[in-house]
Structure 1
């Protein structure tokens, strides 16, 4: 029962890692597009990217600790 619940949480954490990373990439691309092409500043881009990176690191570390930092082969 607890193993199944733990597996569900690991899947959720992995999904959050992927979503935060993709959101971080999208924010950086949008920030560059706004600055270089549209000539308007996107002021929240840097801070939003910073917070997304922090959450990605937190959840990624949690997944790595649960898997003991090794890749399954």
Structure 2
């Protein structure tokens, strides 16, 4: 192998490495974007669940208040 052939091979190898790095970077960016979108979806679901829990808790408190009012009215009637 001549020095010129070796140099040409080195240049090709470097070009291939650059292309591989660029492809890996693009793949990494695409995966990162997918993961970020996935987390946004999870956070939205968490937010909806928290709102549902708050609504359910409020409904239970309202029912307890109504139940207490009914019990107090029964006590007064007796």
Query: How high is the TM-score relative to the length of structure 2?
Result: 0.47
Q: Name the residue aligned to 1:24.
A: 29
Q: Which runs of 4+ in 1 moved over 2 A?
A: none
Question: Which protein is bigger by CA-based radius of gyration?
Answer: 2
User: Shift of the alpha carbon at 1:2?
Assistant: 0.8
Bigger relative CO (Cα 8 Å, ≥ 6 apart): 1
For 1:10, which of 1, 12, 15 is the aligned residue?
15
Deviations 1:10-54 (CA, angstroms, capped at 9, x unpaired): 010010010000000000010000012x118xxxxxxxxxxxxxx
Tell me, which stretches of 5 or more residues in structure 1 are unaligned?
Answer: 41-73
Tell me, which stretches of 5 or more residues in structure 2 are unaligned?
Answer: 1-5, 45-78
Q: How many residues align?
A: 39
Query: How high is the TM-score relative to the length of structure 1?
Result: 0.51
Calculate the aligned-residue CA RMSD, in Å.
1.3
Higher helix fraction: Structure 1 or Structure 2?
Answer: 2
